[in-house]
Each structure stands twice: as C-alpha cells, then as structure tokens.
Amino acid sequence: MIGLIDCNNFFVSCERVFDPSLAGQPVIVLSNNDGCVVARSNEAKALGIKMGIPVFQIRELIETNHVAVFSSNYSLYGDMSHRVMTTIDRLVPEIEIYSIDEAFINFEGFQMSSLPDYAQQLTKTIRKNTGIPVCLGIAPTKTLAKIANRYAKKYPGYKNVCIIDSEEKRVKALKCFPIEDVWGIGRQYKQKLNYYGIETAWDFIQKNESWIRKQMSVTGVRTWLELKGISCIAIEQNPSGKQNICTSRSFGEEISDFPVLLESVAYFTASCARKLRGQKSVAGIITVFLYTNRFKKEVPQYYPSITVHLPVPSANPGELIKYARMSLKQIYRPGYKYKKAGVIVSDITSASNVQCSLFDATDRHKQAKILSVIDTVNRKYGTDTLRSCAQPPNCFRKWSLKSQYISRRYTTNINDIIVLNCK
DNA sequence: TCTGGGGTCCTAGGACCC
DNA sequence: TCTGGGGTCCTAGGACCC
C-alpha cells in the first residue's frame, strides 16, 4: 500500500501556526508580487474565492468579508515543510517528498489490520509536532492514494484518513470521482474525455487500453492502469537533481532601462548558480528571456529569449553572469516596457565529472575553492552577503517585488524569532 | 491600476548517419 | 514514370504537476 500525506491549505496553515487568531477566519495567501490567490482557507473557499484568481478582481469580496490577506513567505513555508517532512521521515520506513506540501509513503510489508490506527497516529503526530493539519490517503497505487486523500479532505467523517483497501471501496471511490480531479488529467484531457462521454474515473477505466494509448499516449495508459489498482509509478526515494533550473520574476513595475534589467538578470543568474551548487552540479547551457506585459494588449509585445552554450559547464555566478550579460545585450530592444525576466540553466551534469576544454584558461580548481568560501559565508550571514558587483544591494533595486502583506520569518530569521518570543 | 514561479515527461518531425 | 531501409540525436511543442 502507498500513502499520500497532503498538508491542508498549506500556506494558510503555516500563517495560522504563528497567528492562532486566524483560526476559523477566511485567509488567503497571494503569489509573488501580490498577484494571484495561491492558497485559501476553507472559509475563503466557501466565499467562492477561486484558486489563481487575480487579487484585484476580488478586492470587494475581501473587504466585505474581512478576509485576512498574506503575501507569500517562502522562507517560512520552506522551513515548515522541512519540519513536516522530518516528522514523517522519522515515523515511516520510506518516504518520497513529492512537493512542498505532499509526501508519498511506502507502506509495503505493513500489517493491513494495523494500518488504520497507525495512519491516525501519524496525522496526529504531525499536527502535534508542527501545528500543520494534514490528511492521509492510502491505496494500492499512487493515483488511487491521491483519490483517497481527496476523500479524506472532503469528508470530516474520515477523521483525516481514508483507506481504499478493497475492490468494493475502489469501485465506489472511482464512481463518485470526477475525471478532471484524477492525478494526470488536466484541462485539455478533461475536455477531450468529456467529449467522449467520460465524466468519472470509473467511466475512464471502462475504455480499452489501445483507445487510451491513442488518445493520451503512455502517460494516459499509466493513469488507467493505476486506477485499476496496478501500480506503475514507483516511490522514488532518492530523487536525482533537477535537469533544468529556472529563476524568473515579474517586476513590481515595468522596466525599460537596460542597466536595471541587467541587475535583475544578474540576480537571477546568481540564484540559478546557487541552486546548481546546492545539488552539486554544473550547467552547460544558459537561457535568458524577457517578457513585456502580456495583459496589456494595446502596447507592443516582445517575448525574446536566447540560449548560449558554455565552453565549459559551470556553476560559478561570475562566469554565468558574463554569458547572461552577453545574452541580454543581444535580445534587449529599447522602447519596450518589460514586465518579467528570467534565467534558465540546463544541460546539467555532476560537478564531479566536468568535461574540460582544451582551450580553457581558467584555474577551475582554484575557482571551486573560492566558491566554497563564498557559500560558507553566505550560509552563515545570509544569501548574497558576498555577491557579484553586477548585483547591487537590495535597497537600490528598482525591480523589487511587491509584497505588501508579508508575515515574519518566524522560524528562520533571528530578529523575527525574538519578536515571536515576545508575543 | 492590479494578472506567479517553479518543474516533469512524451511525441512528432527534422537533420543527420550508413 | 519510377527513388530503400535501417538507425540516432535534437528540438519544439504540448500535456501534465505543485
């Protein structure tokens, strides 16, 4: 059996841990730049606030219902996620961290009869240790565990745990489950499947394999098998590093000046380089892209991007910034108002076996030592304490994000921890 | 006025090889 | 008029996830 633990309204729950007065109140958390709604408490959902809606469209609703609004605080959510995952890891034999708020658990070899009690105990312990409420779905496959989890969330009668452990329960669960809520079925497939009269997960598994393959390729077949109870998607305990790494931001205000864009791109590049070093890898390709504001149909639009191959793969911010700067120069056109920029690094390989270049003049051994010192200093004194000259101090940033409603970094910033203790 | 930021996998088609 | 048969690699685009 496979379990799926999913934190309830995760970002909202994190805010509630440090401000208990939010319990029972409608609460929402916004995306970067205070743009869209990305998390909602049950009370906010009940008000009809949809996932992903731009916040300016629901200003009135927020005011009349006294909805508590938060900017996203990823330092806080990341740390709370780590606490939840650590708690689970201590209590189960095998865990796969699937996202910031979800983890699969391998219950292979567990005595079936002891599972319900054990599962209850697990959710209670997570709540007690971290303050975060979670639900647990258990079933023979990942896709079915996802469905079980959804039922555990939806019906309080389950007391946070739903187990699909018999043919009868599986059939019943599938018959009541909308096809678009199945893991792996998105907007496009919903449309297509509805067109063919498929409304529920049960309708879906009545089709034959070759039809599914023709319409949805092997990924569709995997979903189809998983729903039938045949496991196709294994638990991955040691996820390999990322194959692509991207840092991009929408700007608080639109930017036309090259030097300001360059600053932002230098920051994004340094961030990519840091993420690369975090997984002990290097990148051979760097892509820089710009976006004008796609919502302003009346102004000229321009979405350029450029990809550069590095002579030697690298995770050195100085070196990567050099190529990013060259790239930006090539795609930048004056006169446009840019709303977003970003950097992607790809062709990622392990830092321990880099293919050298015959003509490389850099002393890479020495460089690695410098980088390791920089990382040590920045871990101790904060990100970007030591940084490239291309990245001016934060206070000079003209391209900063809006985050009007941000809470404190209660668990990771010493000054905020002091504030919390005084409270 | 105001609209996020990350990722993955799969397939088809083109360019190339012998 | 008629034009083979087998591969590989790469990329863009489309689907999905949180």
- What DSSP letter does each residue of A164-233 carry, written as one string? --SHHHHHHHHHTSBGGGSTT--HHHHHHHHHTT--BHHHHHHS-HHHHHHHHHHHHHHHHHHHTT---S
Which candidate, A29, A45, A173, places its Cα nearest to that of A101? Answer: A29
- Taking the C1' atom of C14, which residue's CA lies nearest? A188
- How far is residue A9 from each of residues A39, A77, A392, measured CA to CA in Å? 6, 12, 37
Which of helix, strand or coil describes residue A115?
helix
Tell me: the pLDDT tens digits for A169-224? 999 999 999 999 999 999 999 999 999 999 999 999 999 999 999 999 999 999 99
Q: Which amino acid is at A328?
A: L
The span from the CA of A46 to the CA of A57, in Å, is 17
Q: Hey, what are A117's tokens? A: 């009690």
Q: What predicted TM-score, i.e. pTM, was given to this entire model?
A: 0.93
Residue A279 near residue A238, CB atoms below 8 Å: no
CA-CA distance, A39 to A24, in Å (whole number)? 15
Identify the CA nearest to A228 among candidates A333, A119, A147, A122. A147
pLDDT tens digits, chain A, 423 residues: what are they?
999 999 999 999 999 999 999 999 999 999 999 999 999 999 999 999 999 999 999 999 999 999 999 999 999 999 999 999 999 999 999 999 999 999 999 999 899 999 999 999 999 999 999 999 999 999 999 999 999 999 999 999 999 999 999 999 999 999 999 999 999 999 999 999 999 999 999 999 999 999 999 999 999 999 999 999 999 999 998 778 899 999 999 998 999 999 999 999 999 999 999 999 999 999 999 999 999 998 998 889 898 988 988 988 999 999 999 999 999 999 999 999 999 999 999 999 999 877 777 778 888 889 889 999 999 999 998 888 999 999 988 766 777 788 889 998 888 887 787 777 776
**Residue A112, C-beta contacts closer than 8 angstroms, at least 6 positions apart:** A1, A165
Q: Is residue A308 within 8 Å of residue A326, measured between CB atoms? A: yes
Strands (E), A14-118: 27-30, 37-40, 68-70, 95-99, 102-106
What's the distance, CA A346 to chain centroid?
A: 18
Residue nearest to nucleotide B2 (CA to C1'): A56
| Bridge partners of residue A96, in order along the sequence | A104
Nucleotide nearest to A100 (CA to C1'): C18
CA of A305 to C1' of B14 (A): 22
Catalytic residue among A15, A43, A96, A102: A102
* pLDDT attached to residue A423: 63
User: Which bases along strand B come within 7 Å of a protein CB atom?
Assistant: 1-11
Find the Å distance, CA of residue A307 to C1' of nucleotide B14: 20
> Is residue A167 annotated as part of the catalytic site, yes or no?
no
Backbone angles phi, psi at A262, to 5 degrees: -60, -45
CA gap A312, A319 in Å, rounded: 10
Is the Cβ–Cβ distance between A140 and A125 less than 8 Å?
no
CA of residue A185 to C1' of nucleotide B9, angstroms:
14
- Cα A142 off chain centre by: 19
Closest nucleotide to A188 by C1' from CA? C15
Q: How far apart are CA A342 and CA A347, in angstroms?
A: 17
A214: nearest Cα among A193, A242, A191, A187: A193
Tokens of A348: 């990622």
How far lies A226's CA from each of A62, A175, A194, A222, A326, in Å? 41, 15, 20, 6, 48
Q: Which nucleotides of C are covered by protein (CB under 7 A)?
A: 14-18
Angle A307-A324-A318 from CA coordinates, rounded to 5°? 135
CA A168 to chain centre: 35
Nearest nt to the A6 alpha carbon by C1': C18
Residue A286 β-bridge partners: A308, A345
By CB neighbour count within 10 A (0-12 exposed, 13-18 middle, 19+ buried), where does A361 fall? exposed
The residues close to strand C, meaning Cβ under 7 A, are A 98-102, 146, 182-190
Which two tokens mark A73?
A: 């605080």
Protein CA at A91 to nucleotide C1' at B11, angstroms:
41
Per the CB < 8 A criterion, the answer to whether A10 and A101 are in contact is yes
Strand B: list protein residues with Cβ under 7 Å.
A 31-33, 35-36, 38, 52, 54, 56, 217-219, 242-250, 275, 293, 295-296, 339-340, 342, 344, 401
Quick one: which residue's CA is nearest to C16's C1'?
A184
pLDDT tens by residue, A72-123? 999 999 999 999 999 999 999 999 999 999 999 999 989 999 999 999 999 9
